[in-house]
């Protein structure tokens, strides 16, 4: 099981859709395009619907050798073969979730401020979803917008600290990738861009793995 922070793919896809068909279609589209890290997120679904989505997504992830995690629902993460769980700031504490799902499954946590990042660091999250970068329709209760300046301030305060991989999230565009990486951000979490332009997976991965020139 994948537990080394540096081995986490730099591109994370957050599933979207109001129906099972829409969710599965989006997941299949992203995997077809080369996606290697999936987070299943379907807030409006009943547990039985979410369970069906997980059961139908896992074979696809195995076929494409992609990591599959789910948003919320630690019990489903424990009982299924998903490899990870993501929790929001108002969800169950990380330590409690870890007791439920056990090792070596990965646990990610949401953050919006420096204090949140430090909290997630203390909670021993495997990765942090930090955002939002800008306004996005994919989340109903949006935290304060960070923008590139917000990420820069947070990263500056974390210099020389051991912090889990941080993914920028929230309305991420292709042109955001290199500026974010230059700040030390590990990767990006994307939903709408990939669903609207599946070819962006290749472009995002190219920029996420491009050698940066820090001498400029």
Evaluate whether residue 213 is within a structural domain.
no
Whether residue 88 is annotated as binding a ligand: the answer is no
- Tell me the CATH number at 150: 3.20.20.70
In Å, what is the CA distance from 215 to each residue of 91, 144, 207, 212? Answer: 42, 33, 18, 9
Contact 104, 3 (CB under 8 A): yes
Handedness of CA 114, 115, 120, 121 (dihedral sign): positive
Evaluate whether residue 215 is within a structural domain.
no
Whether residue 176 is annotated as binding a ligand: the answer is no
Residue burial 5-36, b: 16+ Cβ < 10 Å; e: rest: eeebbbbbbbbbbeeeeebbebbeebbebebb
Whether residue 43 is annotated as binding a ligand: the answer is yes
- Averaged pLDDT for residues 80-103: 95
N-term to C-term CA, the chain: 38
Evaluate whether residue 72 is within a structural domain.
yes
**Sequence-ordered list of residues with C-beta below 8 angstroms from that of 194, at least 6 positions apart, any chain:** 13, 29, 30, 33, 35, 200, 201, 204
Residue burial 176-188, b: 16+ Cβ < 10 Å; e: rest: bbeebbeeebbbb
Tell me the average pLDDT of the chain. 93
Whether residue 42 is annotated as binding a ligand: the answer is yes
Range of the domain at 143: 5-208
Which of 7-16, 80-89, 139-148, 182-191 is predicted least confidently?
Answer: 139-148
Evaluate whether residue 43 is within a structural domain.
yes
Q: Tokens 């299943």 map to which residue?
A: 40
User: Dihedrals φ, ψ of 198, to 5°?
Assistant: -55, -30
Better pLDDT: 2 or 123? 123
- Averaged pLDDT for residues 10-19: 97
Whether residue 91 is annotated as binding a ligand: the answer is yes
Whether residue 154 is annotated as binding a ligand: the answer is no
- Whether the predicted pLDDT of 1 surpasses 50: no
Evaluate whether residue 53 is within a structural domain.
yes
Evaluate whether residue 214 is within a structural domain.
no
Write out pLDDT tens, residues 184-216. 999 999 999 999 999 999 999 999 999 886 555
Contact 54, 76 (CB under 8 A): yes
Query: pLDDT tier at 141 (50, 70, 90 boundaries)?
Result: low
Whether residue 14 is annotated as binding a ligand: the answer is no
Q: What percent of the chain has pLDDT over 90?
A: 87
Whether residue 29 is annotated as binding a ligand: the answer is no
Whether residue 182 is annotated as binding a ligand: the answer is no
Whether residue 119 is annotated as binding a ligand: the answer is no
In Å, what is the CA distance from 16 to each residue of 4, 32, 98, 120? Answer: 27, 16, 26, 25
Whether residue 140 is annotated as binding a ligand: the answer is no
Whether residue 171 is annotated as binding a ligand: the answer is yes
Evaluate whether residue 18 is within a structural domain.
yes
* Residue 143: per-residue pLDDT: 75
Alpha carbon distance 44, 42 (integer Å)? 6
Whether residue 126 is annotated as binding a ligand: the answer is no
Number of domains in the chain: 1
Whether residue 3 is annotated as binding a ligand: the answer is no
- Whether the predicted pLDDT of 126 surpasses 90: yes
Structure token pair of residue 70: 């789910």
pTM of the predicted protein model: 0.94
Write out pLDDT tens, residues 21-73. 999 999 999 999 999 999 999 999 999 999 999 999 999 999 999 999 999 99
């Amino acid at each position: 099981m994948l537990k080394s922070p540096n081995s986490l793919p730099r591109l994370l896809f957050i599933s979207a859709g109001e129906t099972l068909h829409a969710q599965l279609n989006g997941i299949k589209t992203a995997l077809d395009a080369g996606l290697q890290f999936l987070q299943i997120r379907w807030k409006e679904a009943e547990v039985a619907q979410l369970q069906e989505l997980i059961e139908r997504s896992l074979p696809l992830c195995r076929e494409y050798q992609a990591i599959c995690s789910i948003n919320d629902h630690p019990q489903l993460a424990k009982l299924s073969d998903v490899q990870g769980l993501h929790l929001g700031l108002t969800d169950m504490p990380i330590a409690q979730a870890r007791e439920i799902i056990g090792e070596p499954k990965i646990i990610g946590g949401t953050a919006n401020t420096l204090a949140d990042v430090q909290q997630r660091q203390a909670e021993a999250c495997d990765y942090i979803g930090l955002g939002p970068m800008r306004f996005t329709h994919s989340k109903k209760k949006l935290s304060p917008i960070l923008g590139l300046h917000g990420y820069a301030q947070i990263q500056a305060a974390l210099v020389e600290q051991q912090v889990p991989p941080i993914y920028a999230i929230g309305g991420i565009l292709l042109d955001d990738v290199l500026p974010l990486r230059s700040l030390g951000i590990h990767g990006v979490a994307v939903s709408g861009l990939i669903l609207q332009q599946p070819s962006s997976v290749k472009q995002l991965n190219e920029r996420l793995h491009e050698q940066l020139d820090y001498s400029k």
